[in-house]
Amino acid sequence: MKTIKKTAIALAASSLLASAAFAQTAPAAPEPSPITANVTVVSDYRYRGISQSNMKPAIQGGFDYAHESGLYLGNWNSSISWIGDGNSGVTAPIEMDFYGGFKKELIGEGFASDVGVLQYVYPSRGAYSASTTAGPIVNPNTTELYAAQNFTFGPLTGFVKFSYAVTPLFGNAKSAGSYYPDLTVNYDTGMWGLAVNAHVGYQYIAGQQVVAGTPTLNYTDFKLGLTKDFGGGLSLAAAYIGTTAAKSGSTYAYVGPTNQGSKNLAGSTGIVSLTKTF
């Protein structure tokens, strides 16, 4: 939490003693900036367990502004390929996320409550032609509302979160009302800057059509990994990611193209990422 600024009276009083105390007092630490930025290179962009980059590397980055009142705004971006891969007439190489909300330690220190809205934007060209069990693909731009509760128990930190789509979710027609509850836990080992990371979530897609031989789009995803903090805002992470996404015959619920046919974008895999924060 940022240090509260001195009042005008306190500043006036301190100025009278400044010359006498200067030789004995160290300079005050600079006020932390309310703006932070980050950039990441990752071997495969997995979102809720599903590859967004056709199992290829992606570059990501964004920035956040956090006011001491608890209000915040942010933007995050990543290279993607899943929209163009599934729609030959569409080009959409980037995902842009815009979010804002309120985050404050209302319960107690280390227990920040967080509510906000997240807008996913996929700048694209062309017409959508593919379909899923929820119907024909529509514009993938999505708006979600979310609420989260962070927690801290010594070296154990994390959060529980619930996300709710108020628009069709990621191009699935009639899927407004889809939701995603999840739990993330991090454990600081206290050794060599290493932390253990674990995550589990459940994606429910509303409005699906029940068709024989077609897999459901609902699934559970999970992650287990390690993060190494090198200091100076640089960190390296490695994780094993998996899902319970269904398959019916040779048809995957989340499928990507290959030269040999199709591949499961929700299949289990390991990923590595390097992140720098500023």
Q: What is the pLDDT of residues 159-172, one digit of tens each?
A: 999 999 999 999 89
Does residue 118 belong to any structural domain of this protein? yes
Using DSSP's 3-state secondary structure scheme, residue 98 falls into: strand
Does 9 reside within a domain? no
Q: What is the pTM of this model?
A: 0.84
Q: Which tokens hold the place of 63? A: 């920035």
CATH number of the domain bearing residue 256: 2.40.160.40
Q: How many Cβ atoms sit within 10 Å of the Cβ of residue 175?
A: 23
Sign for the pseudo-dihedral over CA of 123, 126, 132, 136: positive
12: in domain: no
Q: By residue range, what is the domain housing residue 194? A: 34-277
Residue 29 in any domain: the answer is: no
Q: Could you tell me if residue 15 is inside a domain?
A: no
Question: Per the domain annotation, does 81 fall within a domain?
Answer: yes
The percent of the chain in helix, strand and coil, each rounded to the nearest 5, is 10, 55, 40
| Residue 152 placed within a domain | yes
Reported as type and span, the H/E element at residue 13 is helix 8-21
Q: Model confidence over 18-63: pLDDT tens digits?
A: 333 333 455 566 677 899 999 999 999 999 999 999 999 999 999 9
Is the separation of the CB atoms in 197 and 203 below 8 Å?
no
Query: CB–CB of 169/175 below 8 Å?
Result: yes
Written as tens digits, the pLDDT of the chain (278 aa) is 444 333 333 333 333 333 333 334 555 666 778 999 999 999 999 999 999 999 999 999 999 999 999 999 999 999 999 888 866 677 889 999 999 999 999 999 999 999 999 999 999 877 666 666 655 677 899 999 999 999 999 999 999 999 999 999 998 989 999 999 999 999 999 999 999 999 999 999 999 987 777 889 999 999 999 999 999 999 999 999 999 998 877 788 898 775 445 789 999 999 999 999 99
Asked if residue 190 belongs to a domain, the reply is: yes
Question: Could you give the number of structural domains in the chain?
Answer: 1
Phi and psi (nearest 5°) for 115? -130, 145
Record the tokens describing residue 160, joined without a space: 């529980």
